[in-house]
Chains A and B, each alone.
Chain A
């Protein structure tokens, strides 16, 4: 699976939790999930679990510490996919 495909699926997974639709329209690897997309930080856990289910991977709490931008999530998933 390449980066573009993972990015597309990540954005699709994030969409239901996004409160800033404008930012979603111009989403990129540098888009901040909490600050730009306005995803509720308390719901980030649901997003991460959705990543786990969709990509069939396991994500530890510590893995999420480095996920601030969409690109961080994409990189983490690519790492987990090996």
Chain B
């Protein structure tokens, strides 16, 4: 895919308004997570250093990057963003705050939520909605990624009901995005609170979050939907393997 020089206008406006308001909301969100809810990321400096190395390599090469994370709580996108980069970086380099694709029913039920999620670089999607609408959102993410933006997406499609990475029900649309971005690197991020047994709205108060980061470049010789399925399976398998490492490490 040829990289467009500029973002589509609607996303350019959304990003720049978000950038202007970032000093108001990003510190508040982080303070609430850190001090209000008492969350702590184990080995935070190491996690951020690892992601910084991936980000720098990507900036040097210019290849597209997509962040894929496991999904257990409603605030996973905040947790991931907080874990992988310092708050000040998002204020200074707002481009590095990933675009997020929340479930429309969870974050767009009223005007306040719609405005907040828009400012926070969200592009809502109706999971399981009409194929054409889902495809339009996926195409927007591909366009953003091709233009050098970073998006965060949950390949399991929703919060895992089993509390473990749901390998069987991966959303193959993620594979379609990867397929549209030649050479795309996928940064897999696994986040799990030590008190997290299964899915929930929020991690338990004062929970310690274990975070793993790994970068992969999914490959497939297949065509069409099989290719997309291959890509998403590789991503979800990587997340499952990271999950196993974290759970094994706790025993």
Given contacts A58-B223, A62-B135, 15 further A-B contacts (CB under 8 A): A40-B128, A41-B128, A42-B157, A42-B169, A42-B170, A43-B169, A48-B225, A49-B226, A52-B225, A59-B225, A60-B223, A61-B224, A65-B132, A65-B135, A67-B131
Distance, CA A64 to CA B131, complexed state (A): 7
Measured in the bound complex, the distance between the Cα atoms of B134 and A1 in whole Å is 31
Q: Are B176 and A61 in contact (CB under 8 A)?
A: yes
Assembled-state Cα–Cα distance A32/B111 (Å): 30
Residue positions of B touching A, CB distance < 8 A: 127-128, 130-132, 134-135, 157, 168-172, 176, 179, 223-226, 228-229
- Across the interface, which residues of B come within 8 angstroms of A40, CB to CB? 128, 169
Q: Which residue of B lies closest to A32 (CB)?
A: B130
Given the interface pairs A58-B223, A59-B225, the reply to whether A65 lies near B131 with Cβ below 8 Å is: yes
Shortest Cβ gap from B146 to chain A (Å): 16
| A33-78 interface (Cβ within 8 A of B) | 34, 40-46, 48-49, 52, 58-68
Interface Cβ pair total, 8 Å cutoff: 55
Is there contact, CB below 8 Å, between B169 and A60? no
Q: Is the interface of A mostly helix, strand, loop or mixed?
A: helix
Closest to A45 in B: B172
A49 to B127, Cβ gap below 8 A?
no
Residue ranges of A at the interface with B (Cβ–Cβ < 8 Å): 34, 40-46, 48-49, 52, 58-68
Looking at the assembled complex, report how far the CB atom of B138 sits from the nearest CB atom of chain A, in whole angstroms: 9
Q: Kindly provide the distance from the CB of A10 to the nearest chain B CB, expressed in whole angstroms.
A: 16
Whether the Cβ atoms of B225 and A64 lie closer than 8 Å is yes
- Among residues of A, the one whose C-beta sits closest to the C-beta of B133 is A65
Residues of A within 8 A of B172 (CB): 42, 44-45
Residue of A nearest to B233 (CB): A45
The distance in angstroms between the C-alpha atoms of A61 and B223, with both chains bound, is: 9
Taken together as a complex, chains A and B put the C-alpha atoms of A62 and B170 apart, in Å, by 18
